[in-house]
């Protein structure tokens, strides 16, 4: 036990007193999400300012007087936040079709938008309706064509702005014709969501957490674990340890325990970093009412409610993280035992990491109602269990099954690694 | 005492490392035997790749011989590996100390692993650090030290447990003349203390100056094992270098004739 303790603390000291390691393993990840989201907000606002500063160049063919008048009124009462109309260069022309030069200009991003009204638009609109009967079967409804370049942000914005105005103009025409836009409505649809706010928020976190843990956490274990054994072999620093009269199983156990503790700390840092980033994420939505609106209508994101977890959820997730880490650490160390150097170890461990990554990705989507057999699958079952614990869609049996499978396999891998560490085949590589 | 009895070490060559001859096995040591006694410095001489380091690694329990047996102070290197490890110090250029730690920390660390009491450990540290002049850089990290400083530290750490058997592979390799003399003098001191000292080297003058007995390892086998006067007499020479070359020529030419 004294041997395990001595090696364990030496391994911890090796990492925890290395400033660069601390920075890359714990400090940077702690602020990572907050930095990422703050940077997104920054670039978003830079882009927004740029869009506002840009003078949109728009050509309108055959603009009917009624539209010109409507547009002037819009410009006069322009809400800059939405349409940016005051900063638009309008060019009214007469003609049936966009010219080749204009087509090229849109491609070259010199011209942002071309709007072509059908000739005699106003009169055709008037002709297409006679009170009490529909004449649209006989006379074509006049059309408006919009030409823009979706690969240009300026062009896309000009299109969105003008399309919005044209829609308002259409409603205005309908209003003039029928007295109210609602006359044309056959029925109305109202949808109301019924959900447990806490459960939904948990499900949202359950969608992100397993994925983030697999991507970030296991990458750390991979490099640290390979270095602890294969790296030491390569540097020749493992041999002095093997020359000491100590049980080799103790060496493996001590190294794995140290790696497990360091990785668990890392996991906690990642979870803390998500919590640190939450105010920034909420800030993004509060400062951006459009996003909040769209979030509410599509039910994709909810920032209104707080997330509250029960004790059993926290405990179960922590246990699953620990046993999954145990299995991963054991497998990485097992691979490291058989590897001559870090490069060889990294090559061998890549398929395992890919397997874990695919498991992580597959948990982003998919129904929470899964067959209980899935919880017996290493890694994937654990991640699904984590997801469903947060979404409160799991039985106690499934949690126990998932923890048990990882624990048994982890311990088995430790025993195999310890035995391999004493075998002549492995010793010949040191 | 160390008794090496008819050991053979065969490595399996991995497919990717196989060269033109495509041999799946490599015989590093073949039917090698010698004895090293307490209170003597026993020199292993031989060209690169002759099997010296493999032999020493087998004695140190880092490798297991394919055939034959080795005993160290009466303990079998395979059956009683831990007892052998308790009794030996092994130093080779391939064995390094972790760059991140200081000589002071590493001495205590390996002392603790070997179960040495704190007071004894402190006494050993005082003695070894002061003899080898480690005190002035005891708190510097290994990566900040010169080759000589690293070698001194490695020697001190390997001797932390005051072993009965000392095996040093090329101990003066890369050292300046002053540090090299310090190391060889310390080896003599260890011999005078009654320990078994095995030194592997390719510097003939060093072996002549330092050794009490010598073994020539050529092509994985022991070409000669005995006192210096015996080899001079056998080869008709008066120095080790000439004696070695005479023997090397005889063996390699003999092997070529056998092939033809």
The verdict on a CB contact (< 8 Å) between B112 and A6 is yes
- pLDDT bin (cut points 50, 70, 90) of residue A258 is very high
The verdict on a CB contact (< 8 Å) between B113 and A3 is yes
Region B61-84: what's the mean pLDDT? 92
Q: What is the structure's pLDDT at B117?
A: 93
8 A C-beta contact, residue B61 and residue A243:
yes
> How far is Cα A25 from Cα A221, in angstroms, rounded to an integer?
10
Question: At CA B22, angle to CA B17 and CA B27, rounded to 5?
Answer: 80
Q: Is the pLDDT of residue A282 over 70?
A: no
Superfamily for domain range B2-93+166-259 = P-loop containing nucleotide triphosphate hydrolases (3.40.50.300)
First-to-last alpha carbon distance for chain B, in angstroms, is 41
CB proximity B23 to A under 8 Å = no
The verdict on a CB contact (< 8 Å) between A236 and B96 is yes
Instruction: Delimit the domains of chain B by residue range.
Output: 2-93+166-259
The verdict on a CB contact (< 8 Å) between A243 and B82 is no
Residues of A at the B interface, defined by Cβ within 8 angstroms: 2-3, 6-7, 10, 14, 18, 232, 235-237, 239-246, 424, 427-428, 430
Region B155-171: what's the mean pLDDT? 92
Q: What is the structure's pLDDT at B219?
A: 85
The verdict on a CB contact (< 8 Å) between B98 and A6 is no
pLDDT tens, position by position, A126-145: 776 666 565 555 556 788 99
Of A309, A322, A315, A323, nearest to A390 by C-alpha is: A309
- pLDDT bin (cut points 50, 70, 90) of residue A115 is very high
> How far is Cα B86 from Cα B160, in angstroms, rounded to an integer?
11
Give the ranges where A115-181 is alpha helix by DSSP (H).
Answer: 121-127, 153-178
Q: Strand, helix or coil at A145?
A: strand
Query: How many angstroms separate the CA of residue A1 from the nearest CA in chain B?
Result: 11
> How far is Cα B125 from Cα B107, in angstroms, rounded to an integer?
7
Q: Is the pLDDT of residue B54 over 70?
A: yes
Chain A residues touching residue B157 (CB < 8 angstroms): 240
pLDDT tens, position by position, A332-384: 988 988 888 888 888 998 888 888 888 888 777 765 567 788 889 888 888 88
pLDDT tens, position by position, A167-191: 989 888 888 877 777 776 778 788 7
Q: Please state, in angstroms and as integers, the Cα–Cα distance from residue B254 to each residue in A380, B169, B234, B251, B259, following that order.
A: 65, 29, 17, 5, 9
Q: What is the structure's pLDDT at B37?
A: 92
Of A167, A140, A155, A150, nearest to A74 by C-alpha is: A167
Give the ranges where A179-247 is alpha helix by DSSP (H).
Answer: 197-212, 218-226, 232-235, 239-242
> From the list B64, B90, B109, which residue is nearest A6 (CB)?
B109
Asked whether the ipTM of the predicted complex exceeds the cut of 0.95, the reply is no
Of B89, B97, B8, nearest to B54 by C-alpha is: B8
Q: Strand, helix or coil at A387?
A: helix
Q: What is the structure's pLDDT at A131?
A: 61
Segment among A301-310, A316-325, B64-73, B172-181 with least mean pLDDT = A301-310
Query: How many angstroms separate the CA of residue A255 from the nearest CA in chain B?
Result: 14
State the best of B13, B28, B113, B167 to mutate against chain A, taking most chain A CBs within 10 Å.
B113
User: What average pLDDT does the structure give for chain B?
Assistant: 89
Q: What is the structure's pLDDT at B71?
A: 95
Of A218, A145, A208, A135, nearest to A177 by C-alpha is: A135
- pLDDT bin (cut points 50, 70, 90) of residue B172 is confident
> How far is Cα A275 from Cα A107, in angstroms, rounded to an integer?
44
> From the list A236, A242, A427, which residue is nearest B64 (CB)?
A427
Residue A309 burial by CB count (10 A; 0-12/13-18/19+): exposed, middle or buried?
A: middle
Q: Please state, for a pLDDT cut of 90, what percent of chain B lies above it.
A: 53
Q: What is the structure's pLDDT at B239?
A: 87
> What is the signed CA dihedral for A379, A385, A386, A389, rounded to 10 degrees?
-170
> How far is Cα B99 from Cα B142, in angstroms, rounded to an integer?
5
- pLDDT bin (cut points 50, 70, 90) of residue A295 is very low
Q: Which residue of A has its CA nearest to B11?
A: A428
Of A333, A68, A75, nearest to A221 by C-alpha is: A333
CB proximity B99 to A under 8 Å = yes
Instruction: Delimit the domains of chain A by residue range.
Output: 2-36+197-427, 55-184
Q: What is the structure's pLDDT at A302?
A: 42
> How far is Cα B200 from Cα B207, in angstroms, rounded to an integer?
9
Q: What is the structure's pLDDT at A304?
A: 45
Q: Please state, in angstroms and as integers, the Cα–Cα distance from residue A313 to each residue in A201, A210, A260, A430, following that order.
A: 14, 14, 21, 45
Q: Which pair of tokens denotes residue B33?
A: 């035997």
CB proximity B107 to A under 8 Å = no
**Total length of chain B:** 260
Residue A88 burial by CB count (10 A; 0-12/13-18/19+): exposed, middle or buried?
A: buried
DSSP letters of A64-125? Answer: -HHHHHHHHHHHHT--TTTT-GGGEEEEEE--SS--HHHHHHHHTTS--EEEEEPTTHHHHH
Q: How many CB atoms lie within 10 A of CB A75?
A: 14
Q: Would you give the distance in Å from CA A340 to the centre of its chain?
A: 38
The verdict on a CB contact (< 8 Å) between B112 and A14 is no
Q: Is the pLDDT of residue A280 over 80?
A: no
Q: Which pair of tokens denotes residue A419?
A: 């035995």
Chain B residues touching residue A348 (CB < 8 angstroms): none
What angle, 0 to 180 degrees and rounded to 10, lies between the N-to-C axes of helices A342-362 and A218-226? 160
Residue B10 CB contacts under 8 Å (≥ 6 apart), including other chains: B25, B26, B27, B28, B66
Question: A365 — alpha (psi -120 to 50), left (phi > 0) or beta?
Answer: beta
Residue B225 CB contacts under 8 Å (≥ 6 apart), including other chains: B33, B34, B35, B213, B214, B215, B216
Annotation: CATH topology of A55-184: D-Maltodextrin-Binding Protein; domain 2 (3.40.190)
Region A45-60: what's the mean pLDDT? 86
8 A C-beta contact, residue A230 and residue A349:
no
State the best of B63, B112, B141 to mutate against chain A, taking most chain A CBs within 10 Å.
B112
Chain A residues touching residue B80 (CB < 8 angstroms): none
Q: H or E stretch including A59?
A: strand A56-61
Q: Which pair of tokens denotes residue A122?
A: 């106003």
Taken in order A406, A411, A415, A418, the sign of the CA dihedral is: positive
The verdict on a CB contact (< 8 Å) between A242 and B62 is yes
Q: Is the pLDDT of residue A322 over 70?
A: yes
> How far is Cα A383 from Cα A363, in angstroms, rounded to an integer?
7
Own/partner pairs, B12-21, CB within 8 angstroms, 24+ separation: B12/A428
DSSP letters of chain B? Answer: -EEEEEEEEEEEPPGGG--TT--SEEEEEEEEEEEE-TTEEEEEE--TTSSHHHHHHHHTTSS--SEEEEEETTEETTTTHHHHHHHEEEE-TT----TTS-HHHHHHHHHHHTT--HHHHHHHHHHHHHHHT-GGGTTS-GGGS-HHHHHHHHHHHHTTT--SEEEEESTTTT--HHHHHHHHHHHHHHHHTT-EEEEEES-HHHHHHH-SEEEEEETTEEEEEEEHHHHHHHHT-SSHHHHHHHHHHHHHHHHHHHH-
Q: Please state, in angstroms and as integers, the Cα–Cα distance from residue A334 to each residue in A157, A255, A339, A412, following that order.
A: 56, 12, 9, 11
């Amino acid at each position: 036990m004294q041997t395990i303790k001595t090696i364990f603390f030496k391994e911890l000291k090796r990492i925890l007193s290395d400033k660069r390691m601390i920075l890359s393993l714990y400090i940077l990840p702690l602020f990572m999400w907050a930095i990422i989201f703050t940077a997104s907000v920054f670039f978003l606002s830079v882009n927004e300012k740029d869009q506002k500063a840009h003078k949109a160049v728009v050509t309108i063919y055959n603009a009917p007087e009624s539209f010109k008048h409507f547009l002037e009124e819009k410009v006069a009462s322009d809400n800059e936040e939405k349409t940016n109309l005051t900063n638009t260069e309008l060019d009214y022309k007469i003609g049936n079709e966009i010219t080749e030069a204009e087509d090229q200009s849109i491609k070259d991003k010199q011209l942002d938008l071309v709007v072509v009204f059908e000739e005699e638009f106003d009169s055709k609109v008037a002709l297409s309706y006679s009170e009490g009967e529909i004449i649209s079967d006989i006379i074509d409804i006049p059309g408006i064509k919009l030409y823009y370049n979706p690969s240009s942000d300026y062009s896309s914005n000009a299109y969105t702005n003008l399309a919005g105005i044209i829609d308002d103009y259409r409603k205005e025409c309908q209003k003039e014709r029928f007295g109210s836009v609602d006359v044309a409505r056959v029925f109305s649809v109202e949808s109301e969501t019924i959900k447990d706010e806490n459960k939904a928020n948990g499900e949202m976190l359950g969608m992100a957490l397993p994925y983030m843990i697999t991507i970030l956490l296991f990458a750390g274990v991979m490099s640290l674990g390979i270095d602890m054994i294969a790296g030491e072999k390569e540097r020749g620093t493992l041999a002095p340890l093997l020359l000491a009269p100590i049980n080799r199983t103790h060496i493996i156990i001590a190294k794995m325990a140290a790696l497990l503790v360091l990785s668990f700390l890392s996991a906690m840092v990642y979870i803390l970093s998500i919590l640190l980033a939450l105010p920034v994420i909420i800030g993004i939505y509060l400062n951006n009412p459009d996003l909040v609106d769209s979030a509410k209508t599509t039910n994709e994101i909810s920032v209104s409610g707080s997330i509250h977890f029960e004790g059993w959820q926290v405990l179960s997730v922590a246990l699953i993280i620990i046993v999954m880490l145990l299995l991963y650490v054991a497998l990485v160390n097992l691979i490291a035992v058989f590897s001559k150097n870090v490069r060889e170890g990294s090559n061998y461990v890549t398929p395992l990491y890919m397997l874990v990554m695919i498991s992580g990705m597959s948990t982003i989507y998919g129904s929470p109602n899964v067959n209980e057999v899935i919880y017996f699958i290493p890694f994937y079952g654990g991640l699904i269990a984590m997801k469903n614990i947060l979404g409160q869609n799991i039985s106690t049996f499934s949690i126990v099954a998932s923890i048990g499978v990882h624990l048994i396999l982890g311990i088995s891998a430790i025993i195999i690694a310890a035995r391999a560490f004493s075998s002549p085949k492995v010793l010949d590589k040191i | 005492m160390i008794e090496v009895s008819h050991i053979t070490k065969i490595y399996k060559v991995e497919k990717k490392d196989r060269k033109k001859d495509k041999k799946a096995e490599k015989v590093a040591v073949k039917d090698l035997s010698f004895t090293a006694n307490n209170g003597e410095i026993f020199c292993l001489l031989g060209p690169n790749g002759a099997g010296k380091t493999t032999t020493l690694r087998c004695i140190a329990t880092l490798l297991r011989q394919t055939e034959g047996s080795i005993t160290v102070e009466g303990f079998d290197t395979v059956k009683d590996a831990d007892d052998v490890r308790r009794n030996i110090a092994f130093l080779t250029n391939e064995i390094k100390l972790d760059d991140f730690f200081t000589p002071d920390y590493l001495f205590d660390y390996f002392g603790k692993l070997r179960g040495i009491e704190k007071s004894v450990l402190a006494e050993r540290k005082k003695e070894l650090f002061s003899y080898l002049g480690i005190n002035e850089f005891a708190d510097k990290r290994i990566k900040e030290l010169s080759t000589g400083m690293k070698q001194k530290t490695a020697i001190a750490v390997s001797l932390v447990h005051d072993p009965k058997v000392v095996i040093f592979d090329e101990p003066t390799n890369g050292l300046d003349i002053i540090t090299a003399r310090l190391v060889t003098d310390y080896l003599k001191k260890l011999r005078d203390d009654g320990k078994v000292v095995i030194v592997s080297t390719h510097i003939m003058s060093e072996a002549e100056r330092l050794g009490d007995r010598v073994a020539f390892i050529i092509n994985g086998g022991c070409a000669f094992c005995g006192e210096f006067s015996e080899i001079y007499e056998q080869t008709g020479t008066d120095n080790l270098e000439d004696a070695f070359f005479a023997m090397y020529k005889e063996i390699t030419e003999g092997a070529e004739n056998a092939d033809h």
